[in-house]
Structure 1
């Protein structure tokens, strides 16, 4: 542990830090506007994620017992061709312009390199960060660290209500809700569909179990489409909703976290049917709107699909990379 001249301490983040991490993330949200709010339980989900090595991959900066900045580096247990480590971080608005942002980014990059040396030393390393495209301070910090923009993501919103149009299930396909019996089919579709997406790799069982264990997961608005003839699961959609967002904004949002179609079944209306069914279900369950994040260069043509369904762009995020 070290102490700087301003008496701020630095140490790895621990599970007991969930409450102060949530307070920090909400203070950052008030200025940087990601549209994400955190409860203590949500922050605990992030801290306990299986991709995080707390001792090697995280740094918390504390003023007494209050976290005022952090960085985390999430390695990938499975990697093909390139090992991409995602670095996240932020500084409380009251502690900015003191060099903490650059220091924490440097710490995150160092953590990424250390984790890479442990898990995938023979592969090239790429260190990724992502932020609101309007956050000029963060983007300048990335550029100063030698990072370059490589990808843009749109956060889309749908107002539900009269904007929800019915769409029939494509011929030969059967709709199922999420349950324990078809859980493995959801994961299989996800991993098949992501094979040709940028920087995508298979999701491990541990990652899958952890994310579906979040309190935000909404199985009642998560669906699978199956080929009626051969039983193949061909498309899936997972929905999440965070109570902390609702408490902060008064808006109950159904966020489509994952939408995937097996490559052999694309261009058959699978994704469109899943999205519209999820929108209808979200409306029936009293949600105020729906949302999704879309890769601007998605091979599945996500923007066009969502625009046809009535989504509009709410904000854009940009990903910067150091390395390959």
Structure 2
């Protein structure tokens, strides 16, 4: 954090921030993720530009420390509807390279069938969850394997919801697919809507096109409805070759907003 984060303050009030996150592994390309924001009351003062420039420099430092032999690409992922993002990023050399569709399921009272051979997360099967994520995301654009410490930091943290996260095993008892749910309490407090974010939905390559993802989604939808969530949300790569958009649409998810991945080759 001391090398890759920055906060801007107006007195005691935070006006903006930036942070960068590096990949735990990289081969030819190392994609460093740059995130941040400026409070609406402090925009149009050059804060965003200063933060983006600082983020680019921080990304170079982190890249040099961890994967100096790889080519550096800096990614920014922002909702398309946020005003001023293109004007902020284009002058810094960023260009849009990919689009991700946000999809929502309203839950409601519709009957949802449960799956078989499905179990919730536990400390005993945590490594099976991580294994499924790493194996199923090998062909996912921009993904990298998660070592244990990265998994604990990014997934099984304070936003993780184990009672709404599930593992599906095949007939031999081996893991075949997994679904991970997260929820941000601050979002619920601010909006009054309790969202179940299906952050990871993965199926091992040898088990694809057998209904694994559909069974996990159906089971998770029923579980989060019973647990008092208002809706389920997920994000899907519009250029996905796995058929995921069709699977989600069939499960009852409908598209809402779209996010843009901007990239800078540094």
Normalising by structure 1, we get a TM-score of 0.79
How far apart are residue 168 of structure 1 and its match? 5.0
Higher helix share: 1
Matched-pair contact (CA < 8 Å) for 1:178–1:222: yes
Q: What are structure 1's unaligned runs of at least 5 residues?
A: 1-53
1:200 counterpart = 2:143: yes
Residue in 2 that maps onto 1:304: 246
Alpha-carbon distance between aligned partners in 2 of 1:225 and 1:300, rounded to the nearest angstrom: 19
Q: Which of 216, 224, 229 does residue 282 from structure 1 map onto?
A: 224
**Counterparts of 2:40 and 2:185, CA distance in 1:** 24
Q: What's 1:188 paired with? A: 131
Q: CA 1:89–1:242 in 2, change beyond 3 Å: closer, same or farther?
A: closer
Tell me by how many angstroms 1:197 deviates: 0.5
Matched residues in 2 for 1:66 and 1:177: separation?
Answer: 41
Shift of 1:276: 0.6
What's the secondary structure of 2:248's corresponding residue? helix
Partner of residue 132 from structure 1, selected from 55, 79, 89: 79
For the residues of structure 2 that align with 1:305 and 1:164, how far apart are their CA atoms?
18
Q: How far apart are residue 227 of structure 1 and its match?
A: 1.4
| Shift in Å, 1:219 | 0.9
Rounded Cα–Cα distance in structure 2 between residues aligned with 1:67 and 1:257: 28
Q: Identify unmatched segments of 5+ residues in structure 2.
A: none
| SS at structure 2 position matched to 1:161 | coil
Aligned counterpart for 1:219 among listed residues 143, 149, 162? 162
Secondary structure class of the residue paired with 1:188: helix
CA 1:87–1:213 in structure 2 vs 1: closer, same or farther (change >3 Å)?
Answer: same
Deviations 1:219-273 (A, max 9, x none): 11111111122x3211000111222222222222111111100011110000000
User: Runs in 1 of length 4+ with deviation above 6 angstroms?
Assistant: none
Which residue in the other structure is 1:237 paired with? 179
Task: Determine the C-alpha separation between the residues in 2 that align with 1:152 and 1:93.
Answer: 24
Q: TM-score, normalised by structure 2?
A: 0.95
Is contact 1:164–1:276 with CA below 8 Å preserved after alignment?
Answer: no
Change (3 A) 1:164 1:291: farther
| 1:294 is aligned to 2:236 | yes
SS in 2 for 1:290: strand
Question: Do residues 86 (structure 1) and 28 (structure 2) align?
Answer: no
Counterpart in the other structure of 2:91: 144
The alignment partner of 1:196 has SS state of: coil
Distance 1:186 1:168 in 2: 17
Contact 1:164 1:279 survives alignment (8 Å): no
C-alpha displacement of 1:165: 3.1
Q: Which has the higher contact order (CA 8 A, sep 6+)?
A: 2
Structure 1 residues 108-163: Cα deviation after superposition (integer angstroms, max 9, x where no partner): 00110111111111100000001111224012211111111111111111011244
Looking at structure 1, the residues matched to 112 and 156 of structure 2 have their Cα atoms a distance apart, in angstroms, of 31
RMSD: 1.5
Aligned residue among 93, 110, 118 for 1:175: 118
